[in-house]
A and B are shown apart, each in its own frame.
Chain A
Amino acid sequence: MKRGFLVLVLILLVLLIAYSIITDFPVFNRENGFAETGEVITGNATSAGISLTITISGPPTLTLLKSENETYFTATNLELNFTAFSADSIWYKIDSGSNVTITGNTTFNTTSGQHTLYLFANNSDGNSSKNVTFRVNTTKFNVLYDIYKNNGSSTDFNASSYEDIQNLSGAVIEKTGHGKVSFNQAINLTNDSNPGDNALDLDSYTNISQNHIEINTTAIPNFNKSATLSIYGLSFSDPRVLRDGSVCPSEICTEINYSGGTFMFNVTQFTAYSAEETPASQSPSGGGGGGTAGVSGFVVNPDEIQVILKQGGTKKATLKITNTGTRKLEIKLEEKKLGTFLKIGNTSFSLNSGETQEILLDFIAREDAIPGLYIGGITVKAGGAEKEIILALSIQSRESLFDVEVNIPSGYTTVIPGEDVLADVKIYNLGAIERVDAEVKYEIRDEENNSIKIISDTVAVETQASFTKTINIPESTALGTYVLYVTVTYGGKVAGAGVFFEVAEQGVSAREKVFIVVITLLAVISSIAVYLWVLHYRKEHRKYGETGYEDRRIDLRDVLIGQRE
């Protein structure tokens, strides 16, 4: 047996050596051409490098891509996009303003009216210039999209001209951590149900929240287009699409894929979409619990509402309650902590199975309201169950010099106690023409409006300051929903904005998982190895006739019969 094994190993070794000789030695390798014989070539082989330099002379070649000869409805952050070939320096000016040197695409601010943008470039051979005349009319149209502004890959609607938004392709609205809508057809943004108001209110008529994407197609029928929807943060193993709470038919919804808690699917038209676990066995009985609110019998959307108001301002929001159960429900809504800041349209009503009721919420900030963050909620009670909706109302000073935007990048909306929360902060200087030092305060508050952490900073802002702030969440922080509230104070005036994030328990890391698998395999392999070694050890000792290692075979029946006798 042993000899046979040795012979086999030797044969394999010889084959291996033979193979490596054939493949490595050129004399056996026909591809290298050495196997052919007959001609002898004599002489010296030399090589020479060729260097080719093409010099293009002349002034720089400039192409001005944006702005265009169109009308823009915002005066801030207008795009200046261009290409410049063989330019040593590039600069631009607006009308007869001062020159601004740039190195690449940039944005600029201007005022209402007609303007001419001049773009210059030079090199040692001369100058080039391009110019374009454009108009700014801030009253021509207004897109309200504070929820989506600088949020994920959302389209910056204000960067487009009035002409462009009438046939806008590839529009995206995304709320990081919740979901995304990528429209597959061009949209005329101006053609909503009330074109005369020169406004499009995406904040009020769209809703992307936890396991819920909805577009009010009555108010904005121009958004009733085919689109690709992504719902983030799902924990289902095999989700399916729900349309208005019922299973979406295949002619409307087409599933694309589900991976890492993100569910992607195509829809041909709009209403409210969500997802649920596909039942193991299909049951014809409708309704049931589950859904976004996680309360059996009814679903509330959204589960978080964030509103920014100036002193004296008002804003509307809607809350949708759907009866997903099979019996009629008496619904009661109770306001919590916001007092006179919130007016609920309807606090008591009944809902039949499958029915949905929209509740209008009016947020009101009086002229004398103290600027700051107010966290409250609405308790929805029905059928012995209740669900809390968190409301965060940020009130800004009426004449604040600044505007603030705060956004937590996707992937950072859930943090573990002891880790950092990352926030992208943008501060806009709306009034002063010079650089000013503003006091910036970052505050983390829980659902009960308790302050968990406060950090203060001073930031110099000329026209705009944009930065990422890292704030450590204390180890002792309880799990739940929190608001990161950023305020900018200057001259006694306060501007602020908040963003929700979750503090959640740490999951099992990939390292720990690998460790567990390795330990399991090691346990099995080492047990078998020890067993085989013991067998081998006993066999070896038997060979040498040592006592105590005899391979005795027993027939248990003999033993049992012996016992009986």
Chain B
Amino acid sequence: MQHPDEGTIHSWLDGALTPEETSAIEGHVASCAECAAVVAEARGIRAAATRILSALDDVPAGVVPTPDYFADVRAAEAASVAHRSARRPLWARPGVRAAAALIAVGGLSWAVLRSSGRVSDAGNTPMAADSMSVGSTALSALPVPDTPEVERVDQRDLAQRRATARTTNTRPRTNGPAPAMKRAQDAQSATIPERDLRQAAELEDRRRADSALRLESIVATAAPEANKSAVAGAGVGAAATAPTQQPMAAPAAPAEPPVPRIVIDRGYVDSVLAADSLETADTYLAGGRAPAAARVAAPQSDRAARSETRSETRSEARPSGSPTMMRAQGCWLLETSPWSPRYRATDTLRLLPRRIELMLDRGIADEAGERLVRPAPGEPALPIGATGIWRVIATNQVRLTIATHDRWTTVTLTVGDDSLSGTARAYSNVDRLLRRATVSARRVVCRTEP
């Protein structure tokens, strides 16, 4: 036999050769030192390639759906079928929807499993202890049946979504005894402080908004009838404070889909759910009262007052927000520590202005409760094409994201009394290198715009 080429050696190592070819190459390599060296190198390259590719994974390995997971999906689907089957058109038959729901919840469960995995990983470090306790509380506190939000949004779609989110959220990452764990978590939720419950409720809202959109984007488009009710459901929540949400959502609903079709439209679903979840988060915090009541109690600067006045004349912008949002909005002078690893001297575009203004104005896309952030009046403008958004991510916590097409900076800040503190992270779209700096800020008066 001739010396095998590298392709043949890799085919052999991959087990892709016929038995005859395999025995031929084995015999040759056993007697040819040169080829044995090539094979050894090929083995090394093969292993190295696998290792390099595994660095790309942020998907935990070995995550598989547990058996009761499908039972949950079927139960939810059965309930839904009983409710709707009388008026269901052909294209929305149970099979189609079951399939869509199955896959949607699969993705959802995946995401949730991943996030719970993250929480447990984070628990390995002392600095993550807080987030771990909040995270696990969130999981245990998910079944909160009597929330104001449920009263407001009496939609079976939403209830079903909640039910499926609950079952998937409480499932452990490994194939452990899910029901036992659920019971333990239920027991735990009965004893945890109310403050934690509220934090958990808020976290759950964010998680729900994120996971629900997966379900909704699929179920809604596979069954436009369900879509309408889902839109109406989210709209009910938003309608009290945001009547303009409804028209914005309407065009996204498929008018006449003759064939079930998936339209992964995160933007649309986000915008429908965002108003609901955002308001709900702080409605929880305000003890279930309307956000407006909470706003009165929140400290307000002149800027906030002006913004609220403006809100009455610009209904489409609806510049109002949760207590955290109202406390955070305004102008801030940032003090940023040196970045780590430090920027190269040539890299001047750092995307974190010295003075910023957190505005109550919504962005054009109006995604997920985003508001605009910009350099405070008098500061140099952001590069052309850059966008800045901020949003409330938890009680007394906001996150800023300033981005151009190829890089971005996020700043997660805890909102104190006229101060902000937290961490900035800078990313490059190209190589995704991460830089970090600590940031503190004090409130400053926004200069009058020229």
Binding partners A and B: no
B residues near A (Cβ < 8 Å) are: none
